[in-house]
Every structure is written in C-alpha cells, then in structure tokens.
Amino acid sequence: MEIKREDIIHLAELSNFSLSEKEIEGLGKDLQEIIKYISQLDQLDTNNIEPTYQVFDLENVWREDEIVEQEATREELLALTVEQKDHQIKVPKVL
C-alpha cells in the first residue's frame, strides 16, 4: 500500500510526535519501505492457524494477596520529575 503524507501525520499524532517537515518526508520514505517489506506476509498461508501472542509456558501466575512494600519511596519517585510542587508533579496547563 502507498503511504501518504496524511498517513504519516496521523501516525505521528497517534505516537505523540511533533515531527518537522523534514522528518515527515524522511519517515514517509522509510515507513513506505518497511511496510513494503513486512507486507510479504501476504504470501504466507495462515488459513486455520491460531495466532500466538506470547510464548511463556505458564498462565495465571498467582501470589499471596498481601501488601508488598515498594522499593522506592514517594519522595524518591517525586525527585525524578523535572518540576514538582506540594508533593505533586507539575506540568503545563492541561486544557
């Protein structure tokens, strides 16, 4: 399939990227090539084949229902942010 400029802008939106014009062009070319490559799966017959999403041999791994202490404290976690105020993470306006 052909990847158009609108597709790249849509994918950038889904990915939360503020791409420059140059990036839109470059990624457009790259993604076109990559999608062309991965589209060869069309040739593989997967009729009546169930999908595999994970290859871990266990299901429903249980543990005791008890409170487990966190390794990091609230203060340590808050210290990781760029800006904090009144024990909360500060960000620019939301709306």
Q: Which residues bind another protein (CB under 8 A)?
A: 7-8, 11-12, 14-19, 23, 26-27, 30-31, 33-44, 46, 49-58, 61, 63, 68, 71-73, 76-77, 79-83, 89, 91-95
Amino acid code (one letter) for 62: W
Sign of the CA dihedral with 50 first, then 51, 56, and 59 last: negative
Q: Closest separation between CB of residue 48 and another protein, Å?
A: 9
Q: Closest separation between CB of residue 86 and another protein, Å?
A: 16
Half-sphere exposure of residue 81: CA atoms within 13 angstroms, side-chain side: 12
